[in-house]
Structure 1
């Protein structure tokens, strides 16, 4: 036989369950704009029935759990694409900065400065005795030198900036790992006491999402000896265990020299790891990796610019030394009484020559007559020529095409690499947005839906309250109204 107060107990359980559902709905509404918040739902379950004269009589309802509406496979997919997004953002950013430095095509780029240099020689060939034309050639040479130095210095500045960024990202990874480890500890203590720390789960997922853009992550739930979920997770990066439950996180360390040894110079807890993707790897490759070739963005571009400067200077010097300057033509002698030799236009090019080492010959900076505009004529003496001879200046202008082709090749490859990085960035960004939209369709808070739920739970709460009132009236009649007849 059921209790006299069975009906009131039914109503009480209904009130409690609907109130919990209303509170959960209110929590969802309050966090509609909270980054990383996962919508929650009160899961109701009928309480065990009781037997009454052979009939199974219901005993009401209770809230079995507060469920986070989240799909793990979407989290995995999001983090897998997020690491690619971080990688291509880093590569595209570096390539864009290089494009800004080279600034092609424009009136300020190296291509224009080289064109002006060749034009100066062409004008000198028309009037080889003109001091003004010679001064223009010298000044154009200085402009080429300064442009090469600017490019080289700017590339080195980008590399220095990348070194600082890599150090900052390393600290960020370690900071996120520590926060995840701390949350693991808080979660495990609550789960052990049968609490559901949903909001802490959300905080940890936000941190893991942030980490997934920096490095490739693998998240593994930790089970206890009875295969029961402890609420904690392990986080692996590049094959190394970064976070192990609530233990202190294993520190990520990057050894940054002139380049980064990606096989041995990146460690977690002292053990080498191999990064697969992420913004950190993109920055490291941009800075330069050991035996990286074209993957080492800045070192590769610096090598190309250095080779261009070396080839340019060698070709110009070759033609310049084959000609005669005004001092040669006038028969000027050196301190030993020997005929003056032609000089190099640019300073001597050594084996370790870089674009920063390029300089106009100091002797030419002092004496414009040392610019070789003439060629040797077969008029008796191999070192004689007429003052109006400008054939060497014309020959100088002819090497323009070879140098121009080399520079255009550099710019062309840079444009292709930058375009490819931007294309991959756009594609990956689109995929990340699609996955995030699907994730939000499940986990995000819809205010319209929550308002509808609020009305539904409110009506159920009112009905449960009405039932309590009805049962109270029935009991009042039984207890207070069943006296002696007529009294």
Structure 2
């Protein structure tokens, strides 16, 4: 359409374009505090030119597209680093609980008399270390006064405390293992909910973008947020599906680096499960080999540091039973001090029938003899060797201190990994914010630009209206 009517239509198109620009700038500013939002940009372009009896006439300006400002490579890097951070945090949290349940930490100092340079065991007043020391000290007291009833009562009391400490620690570690299992199962349920949400978002995006490809920007933001939420729990690979626009597939690593599909666009979702030892996907139970996310971190801590601590406390208990019983009953007459079957921390116990009055300081009838009490007291200083068939290496006290020290070292290393990973994550998120984040200054500038353009177009519209009025008035006359 030529002439004033054509100018009127092209100006109306310009008003619509500037209005969309104003709306987009306002939307960006409204989402300035939304971490899942990526800023949007309106791209304006020429609407084309038509031939009229008066010559070529421009059709004005129009909105070509509204796009998100995103760096897809950076988004993938953030997913990967989020998984690593999730794993490190989960492992650190599990190790912190492990140290709490042990109830002891090792202070390092200049005194090299203890293994690993440990100078003291703190919190020992209620821990295994102090109970071990008090137990052998009680036998030292009995060896110095072998006929004393009070010394026998002290030995029995300290032995009972030692049993209680080992039982308590063993039970706490077993309960911690069960708690970690429950946490893993709970998080797998969360994973399955997120996977279904991603499939649903794929479906919604496809439905909206059938006629306008790439237009479901807010849904794409939600999907990216779900992917990042999922990556905190497990490491994933995300890829677009070339022959299905708007859809993505999510997969995880299986044995040998094979890819196990979790979300196939809008078609299917494979449920993730945990059988107590490994993660499985789908009805066929395809194994998953997760290396990132809180699921992997929790499982690593459970099967690594926690299981090692449980095993070491069992070894300590078994060696304590063997060493003390050997010293207390040197001729193997069946007069054991500790229950020979109590070779775990949970099962560690005094021998059936043992009480304060039945505790022996000697195997002879000679008055003042103390060879048994002295042998048990010195058993705490005996250096054991796994090469010689013992359950541990070093003395009982050294082995325990080494155990506590190792857990402390593992916790410190995990904390360092978390700190390093947080720095990387912060750097990447800062870079993404500079690209995709909303800048109020930029949006205000765009808002003013679109507003001025709208005002100019409105003035042109008013001028055309006045000219049309003159034409119509002239025709009437």
Task: Name the SS of the counterpart of 1:404 in structure 2.
Answer: helix
1:314 corresponds to: 322
1:364 corresponds to: 354
Are the equivalent residues in 1 in contact too, given 2:2–2:54 (CA < 8 A)? no
What does the per-residue CA deviation read over 1:210-232, in whole Å, with 9 as the maximum and x for residues that have no partner? 111111111111122xxxx6101
Are the equivalent residues in 2 in contact too, given 1:343–1:370 (CA < 8 A)? no
Are the equivalent residues in 1 in contact too, given 2:87–2:295 (CA < 8 A)? yes
Are the equivalent residues in 1 in contact too, given 2:177–2:302 (CA < 8 A)? yes
Are the equivalent residues in 1 in contact too, given 2:139–2:374 (CA < 8 A)? yes
CA distance in 2, matches of 1:49, 1:113: 93
What does the per-residue CA deviation read over 1:277-324, in whole Å, with 9 as the maximum and x for residues that have no partner? 221122223333xxxxxxx3322221111001111121111111139x
TM-score for both structures, normalised by structure 2: 0.86
1:465 corresponds to: 458
2:392 corresponds to: none
TM-score for both structures, normalised by structure 1: 0.84
Q: 1:420 aligns with which of 389, 404, 413?
A: 413
Q: 2:443 aligns with which of 450, 453, 463?
A: 450
Q: CA deviation at 1:33?
A: 2.8
Pair 1:386-2:376 in alignment: no
Q: CA deviation at 1:464?
A: 1.0
Pair 1:111-2:129 in alignment: yes
Task: Name the SS of the counterpart of 1:5 in structure 2.
Answer: helix
1:21 corresponds to: 21
Pair 1:222-2:241 in alignment: yes
Are the equivalent residues in 2 in contact too, given 1:214–1:279 (CA < 8 A)? yes
1:145 corresponds to: 163
Alignment of 1:217-366 (within 5 A): 217-224=236-243, 230-238=245-253, 239-256=259-276, 260=277, 262=278, 266-270=280-284, 271-288=286-303, 296-322=304-330, 343-349=335-341, 353-365=343-355
CA distance in 2, matches of 1:274, 1:468: 65
CA distance in 1, matches of 2:333, 2:220: 80
Q: CA deviation at 1:48?
A: 1.5
Are the equivalent residues in 1 in contact too, given 2:146–2:370 (CA < 8 A)? yes
Q: CA deviation at 1:133?
A: 1.4
Cα 1:42–1:349 change in 2 (3 A) is same
What does the per-residue CA deviation read over 1:232-260, in whole Å, with 9 as the maximum and x for residues that have no partner? 1011122210001111312122212xxx0
Which shifted more, 449-458 or 12-21? 449-458
Structure 1 residue runs of 5 or longer lacking an equivalent are 289-295, 324-339, 377-382
Which shifted more, 438-447 or 36-45? 438-447
Which shifted more, 156-165 or 471-480? 471-480
What does the per-residue CA deviation read over 1:113-166, in whole Å, with 9 as the maximum and x for residues that have no partner? 212112212222222211111111111111111111111111111111112111
CA distance in 2, matches of 1:155, 1:11: 75
Pair 1:122-2:140 in alignment: yes
Q: CA deviation at 1:53?
A: 9.2
Are the equivalent residues in 1 in contact too, given 2:337–2:354 (CA < 8 A)? yes
Which shifted more, 209-218 or 247-256? 247-256
What does the per-residue CA deviation read over 1:421-455, in whole Å, with 9 as the maximum and x for residues that have no partner? 11111111221122122222222222333223222
CA distance in 1, matches of 2:265, 2:354: 71
CA distance in 1, matches of 2:404, 2:298: 22
What does the per-residue CA deviation read over 1:318-363, in whole Å, with 9 as the maximum and x for residues that have no partner? 111139xxxxxxxxxxxxxxxx96822111236xx31111112233
Are the equivalent residues in 2 in contact too, given 1:240–1:268 (CA < 8 A)? no
Are the equivalent residues in 2 in contact too, given 1:216–1:277 (CA < 8 A)? yes
Q: 1:212 aligns with which of 204, 227, 231?
A: 231
Q: CA deviation at 1:69?
A: 1.1
**Residue-pair matches, total:** 439
1:336 corresponds to: none
